[in-house]
Amino acid sequence: MNNFWDTITGFSGQLEEWILQLTDSLWIYPWMYILSVIDGFFPVVPSESVIIASATAWAQTDLPWLPGIWLAAAAGAWCGDQIAYGIGRLFDVTKWKMFNSEKGKASLAWADSALEKRGSTFIIAARFIPMGRVIANISAGALRYPHRRFMGVDAIGALIWATYSVVLGIFTGSLFSDNLVLSIVVGVVAGVLMGFVIDRVMQKIGFSPPDVPDLSKEVDAPADDGDKNDAASDGRDNS
């Protein structure tokens, strides 16, 4: 297992270095988009660090074109999040082994509560945590969080995330370039505050909290009478 993660992290580092070699090429923009898309559902791809480094390079050399980096990152992040949402919606997560444990059931219950009570905060803040955004977006799909609302809130989150990454690269890239944990913490705080404001605004203009099913109960739900009768009849047939 350690060899697998060493391979993944080594590949990620090589990919990041290769992408940064394209800072003076037009290819940097489609690759930035692709990285951000993949990062939405496979978070070992280092999209944040590439955005920050690209913005830092712009501050020093005027290349690459900063609005292009920002737009590619935001669009890619939004599309990647929609893919994660679709994965959660298409596949029954209650059948996944990771959700059959006590911790798995607790995570479903937590996601259910977070999405219903503070969905905007949850979705936006999670975008700043590489694995957190994947779990949040898959959970949103699995819990049938309203897709239109998800798309709108996630668009705001993707724009904030891209803006934050670019600004960090311009003004504080040299300070935080070797401390991604600190940059993530700052991003989470900013995302929580912004999400709180968005939730309040949505409530003021008439958007009520969405109803989402409690999947943690479905994991433990016993078979219904129809299933029991089918099982009994199968037993009689086999006897």
Classify burial at 208, counting beta carbons within 10 Å of its beta carbon; exposed 0-12, middle 13-18, buried 19 or more.
exposed
The string of pLDDT tens digits covering residues 67-125 is: 999 999 999 999 999 999 999 999 877 677 766 777 767 767 777 777 877 788 889 88
The string of pLDDT tens digits covering residues 174-201 is: 565 556 556 556 655 665 676 677 667 6
Rg (CA), the chain: 21
| Cβ atoms of 212 and 143 closer than 8 Å | yes
The string of pLDDT tens digits covering residues 194-217 is: 667 766 765 675 545 555 555 555
pLDDT at 101: 72
Q: Which of 24-28, 31-35, 72-76, 208-212 has the highest mean pLDDT?
A: 72-76
| Cβ atoms of 191 and 127 closer than 8 Å | yes
Helix (H) or strand (E) holding 181: helix 180-204
